[in-house]
Structure 1
Amino acid sequence: MIRLDVDEESLRSIRLALSPLWETLGSLALLARYRGAVPTPYTGWVRGARRAVPPKLMDTVVQLAHRRDTPFLRHAHAYVPDPARTSLQDELDFLRMRFEGAGDERTAALIEDYWNHALHPYWPALRASLEEEVLFRGRTLAVNGPEAMLAELEGRVLWQRPRLTAPYHLDLTREVRRSRLVLVPSMFSAATRVFTSDAQVTAMSYQARTTGFLHSVTPDRPTEPPTDRLALLIGPGRAKVIRALQAPRTTTALAHSLGLAKSTVSQHLGVLTETGVVWRRRLGGQVFYQLDRSGFALLEQLGD
Structure 2
Amino acid sequence: MLELAFSTEDVLRIRFAFSPLWEAVVSVRALRHPADRALHLPWIRRARAALAEAGVDLGPLLELVPQPLRYIPDFLTPPPTTPVPDFTAELAAVRATAPEQVRAELRRMGTPAGPFAARLADDPASGLAELADTLTEYWRVALAPDWPRVRGLLEGEIAYRARRLAEGGAYLLFGDLHERVSFADDRLYVRHKHWHDSRSLDGAGLVLVPSVFAWPSVYTISQRPWQPTLLYPPRGIATVWESGSAVGPQALGAVLGRARARLLAELVAPASTTELARRTGLTAGAVSQQLALLRAAGLVASHRAGRVVLYARTETADALLTVSAAR
SS at match of 2:232: strand
Alignment map for 1:138-149 (pairs within 5 Å): 138-149=162-173
Aligned residue in 1 for 2:142: 118
Radius of gyration: which is bigger?
Answer: 2
Aligned residue in 1 for 2:26: 26
SS at match of 1:159: strand
1:184 aligns with 2:209: yes
Distance 2:17 2:133 in 1: 24
CA deviation string 1:143-201 (max 9, x = no partner): 32223212231353211222222233423222122222111111122244332124562
Shift of 1:137: 1.0
Alignment map for 1:221-236 (pairs within 5 Å): 228=245, 230=247, 235=253, 236=258
CA deviation string 1:13-71 (max 9, x = no partner): 2111111111111111222233x58422x2222222122222753653445422799xx
Aligned residue in 2 for 1:282: none
1:53 aligns with 2:84: no
Aligned residue in 1 for 2:321: 272
TM superposition outliers: structure 1 runs of 4+ over 6 Å: 231-234
Question: Which deviates further from its counterpart, 190-199 or 81-90?
Answer: 190-199
Q: Is the 8 A contact 1:52 1:117 kept in 2?
A: yes
**What residue ranges of structure 1 are gaps of 5+ in the alignment?**
278-304
Distance 1:119 1:95 in 2: 19
SS at match of 2:130: helix
SS at match of 1:178: coil
Q: 1:264 to 1:139 in 2, by over 3 A?
A: closer
Letter in 2 for 1:22: W
Q: Is the 8 A contact 2:217 2:232 kept in 1?
A: no
Aligned residue in 2 for 1:106: 130
1:248 aligns with 2:270: yes
Q: 1:93 to 1:249 in 2, by over 3 A?
A: closer
Shift of 1:128: 2.1
Alignment map for 1:276-295 (pairs within 5 Å): none
Q: 1:162 to 1:84 in 2, by over 3 A?
A: closer
CA deviation string 1:197-242 (max 9, x = no partner): 24562111112113223222xxxx5xxx5xx584796753322332
Aligned residue in 2 for 1:202: 228
Shift of 1:270: 4.5
Q: Is the 8 A contact 1:3 1:164 kept in 2?
A: yes
Q: Is the 8 A contact 1:32 1:63 kept in 2?
A: no
Distance 1:119 1:149 in 2: 29
Letter in 1 for 2:162: G
After TM superposition, the score normalised by the length of structure 2 is 0.66
Q: Is the 8 A contact 2:211 2:232 kept in 1?
A: yes
Q: 1:144 to 1:76 in 2, by over 3 A?
A: same
Q: Aligned-residue CA RMSD in angstroms?
A: 3.6
Question: Which deviates further from its counterpart, 118-127 or 159-168?
Answer: 159-168
Q: 1:6 to 1:173 in 2, by over 3 A?
A: farther
Distance 2:247 2:156 in 1: 25
Aligned residue pairs, count: 259
Q: Is the 8 A contact 2:218 2:232 kept in 1?
A: yes
After TM superposition, the score normalised by the length of structure 1 is 0.71
Question: Which deviates further from its counterpart, 183-192 or 261-270?
Answer: 261-270
Q: Percent identity?
A: 24
1:193 aligns with 2:218: yes
1:174 paired residue among 186, 191, 198: 198
Distance 2:187 2:31 in 1: 31
Q: 1:147 to 1:31 in 2, by over 3 A?
A: same
Letter in 2 for 1:187: V
Distance 2:83 2:161 in 1: 19
